[in-house]
Structure 1
Amino acid sequence: MRIRYLLLNAYGTGGTIRTVFTQATTMAGLGHDVEIVSVIQHKDKPNFDLDERVKLSSIVDQRAPTGDEPAPGVVARYRAGRRERLRKLSARIIPAGEFAYDAFNRYVEQEVVRYIKSVSDGILVTTRPALNILAARYADSRLIRVAQEHMNLGTHRKDVQRAIARYYPSFDAVAVLTSRDREDYEKLLPGTRLVRIPNAVHSMEQERSDHTNKIALAAGRLAPQKGFDMLIPAYKKVAERHPDWQLRIFGTGKKKQELRALIEKHHLYNHVFLMGHTDHMDDELTKSAFYILSSRFEGLPMVVIEAMTHALPVVSFDCPTGPADVITDGKDGILVPPKDVDALAEAISKMMDDEELRHTMGAEALKTAQSYAPEHVHMMWEELFTDLVRTSGKDAAAAA
Structure 2
Amino acid sequence: MRILLHHAYGMGGTIRTVLNLAGYLARERDVEVVSVVRTAKKPFFPVPPGVRVSFLDDRTGRRSPVARLLSRFPSVLIPQQENVYTSLSLWTDLRLVGFLRSMRSGVVISTRPGLNLVTALFAPPGVITIGQEHVTLDVHSPEVVRLIKRRYGRFDAFVTLTQADLDRYAKTLKNPPAQLLRIPNAVTALEGGMSQLDEKVVIAIGRFVHAKGFDLLVRAWKQVAEAHPDWVLRVYGRGRPEAEARLRARIEEAGLSGSMLLMGGSTEIGVELARSSIHVVSSRYEGFSMTILEAMSKGVPVVSFDCPHGPREIVTHEYDGLLVPPKKPAALAEALCRLIEDRELLGRLGRNAALTSAGYDLDSVGARWDRLLSDLAGRPALGSPSAPDRTATPSARNMQPV
Instruction: State the TM-score, normalizing by the size of structure 2.
Output: 0.92
Tell me which residue corresponds to 1:115: 99
Mapped to 2, the partners of 1:194 and 1:114 lie a distance apart of 27
1:64 to partner: Cα distance: 3.5
Mapped to 1, the partners of 2:92 and 2:297 lie a distance apart of 38
> Closer, same or farther in 2 for the Cα pair 1:128/1:24, shift >3 Å?
same
AA partner of residue 239 (structure 1): A
1:59 to partner: Cα distance: 0.8
Are residue 135 (structure 1) and residue 119 (structure 2) matched? yes
Contact 2:192 2:271 in 1 (8 A): no
Are residue 160 (structure 1) and residue 157 (structure 2) matched? no
Residue of 30, 33, 38 corresponding to 2:30: 33
Are residue 209 (structure 1) and residue 195 (structure 2) matched? yes
1:50 to partner: Cα distance: 2.2
Mapped to 2, the partners of 1:377 and 1:205 lie a distance apart of 20
1:89 to partner: Cα distance: 1.8
Tell me which residue corresponds to 1:69: none
1:367 to partner: Cα distance: 1.0
AA partner of residue 86 (structure 1): L
1:204 to partner: Cα distance: 7.0
1:395 to partner: Cα distance: 9.4
Higher mean C-alpha displacement, 44-53 vs 147-156? 44-53
1:85 to partner: Cα distance: 3.1
Are residue 224 (structure 1) and residue 222 (structure 2) matched? no
Listed as ranges, the gaps of 5+ residues in structure 1 are 66-75
1:48 to partner: Cα distance: 1.8
Mapped to 2, the partners of 1:252 and 1:46 lie a distance apart of 15
Tell me which residue corresponds to 1:388: 376
AA partner of residue 114 (structure 1): G
1:15 to partner: Cα distance: 1.1
Please give the secondary structure, in 1, of the residue aligned with 2:202. Answer: strand
Please give the secondary structure, in 2, of the residue aligned with 1:391. Answer: coil
Contact 1:217 1:291 in 2 (8 A): yes
AA partner of residue 349 (structure 1): C
Residue of 23, 36, 40 corresponding to 1:43: 40
Residue of 103, 121, 129 corresponding to 1:145: 129
Contact 2:238 2:265 in 1 (8 A): yes
Tell me which residue corresponds to 2:168: 184
Mapped to 2, the partners of 1:7 and 1:148 lie a distance apart of 11
Tell me which residue corresponds to 1:333: 321
1:129 to partner: Cα distance: 0.7
Tell me which residue corresponds to 1:63: 60
1:348 to partner: Cα distance: 1.0
Tell me which residue corresponds to 1:53: 50
Deviations 1:25-49 (A, max 9, x none): 11111x2111111111122332222
Contact 1:143 1:395 in 2 (8 A): no
Tell me which residue corresponds to 1:19: 17
Higher mean C-alpha displacement, 387-396 vs 232-241? 387-396
1:18 to partner: Cα distance: 1.2
Contact 2:129 2:155 in 1 (8 A): yes
1:96 to partner: Cα distance: 1.1
Contact 2:78 2:114 in 1 (8 A): yes
Aligned residues: 380
Tell me which residue corresponds to 1:6: 4
Listed as ranges, the gaps of 5+ residues in structure 2 are 385-402
1:21 to partner: Cα distance: 1.1
Tell me which residue corresponds to 2:391: none
Instruction: State the TM-score, normalizing by the size of structure 1.
Output: 0.92
Percent of pairs with identical residues: 39
1:203 to partner: Cα distance: 2.2
